[in-house]
């Protein structure tokens, strides 16, 4: 135990970084739960797309969208989402899945939609890499 304490004292910066990272991970999960945003894996998104005719929206920037996106995804960047809510109003009762490159931007987009009366809102947990890890296809065509 004494060796561990000595190691910790000599490497205090390492321990501060470890606790900061752990705090951020826990904090982001708590924030997601508080916001009431459902995070789905790729299989969950596929089930919504196939069984409930969900709408999928890429909220990443234009460059990210051009680099590759889920084939049937609409592109509405987060910075334009508030002004383009009308495009989604007619499908307000359908499940809507939002995604981006990491999952962070889509969490914010989900919160915005929830504040505007959308109830069946989900985020692709982990973003596009989760989709790719599941060996699912992407498109580089404009839609």
pTM above 0.85, yes or no: no
Computed over every residue of the chain, the mean pLDDT equals 88
Show the domain range for 6. Answer: 1-35
Token reading at 1 = 């135990």
- Among 10-14, 22-26, 39-43, the range scoring the smallest mean pLDDT is 22-26
3-state secondary structure 12-30: HHHHHHHHHHHHHHHHHHH
> Which residues are catalytically annotated?
100
Identify the CA nearest to 57 among candidates 81, 93, 83, 33.
Answer: 81
Residues 62 and 44 in one domain: yes
Q: What is the CATH number of the domain that holds 54?
A: 3.40.250.10
What's the structural domain count of the chain?
Answer: 2
Residues 10 and 70 in one domain: no
């Amino acid at each position: 135990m004494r060796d561990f304490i000595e190691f910790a004292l000599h490497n205090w910066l390492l321990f501060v970084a470890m606790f900061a990272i752990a705090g951020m991970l826990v904090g982001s999960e708590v924030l997601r739960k508080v916001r009431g945003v459902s995070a789905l894996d790729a299989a969950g998104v596929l089930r919504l797309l196939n069984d409930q005719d969900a709408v999928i929206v890429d909220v990443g920037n234009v460059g990210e969208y051009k680099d590759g996106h889920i084939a049937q995804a609409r592109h509405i960047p987060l910075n334009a989402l508030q002004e383009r809510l009308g495009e989604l109003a007619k499908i307000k009762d359908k499940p809507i899945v939002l995604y981006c490159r990491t999952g962070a931007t889509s969490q914010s987009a989900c919160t915005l939609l929830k504040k505007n009366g959308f109830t069946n809102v989900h985020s692709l947990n982990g973003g596009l890499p989760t989709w790719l890890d599941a060996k699912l296809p992407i498109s580089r065509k404009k839609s």
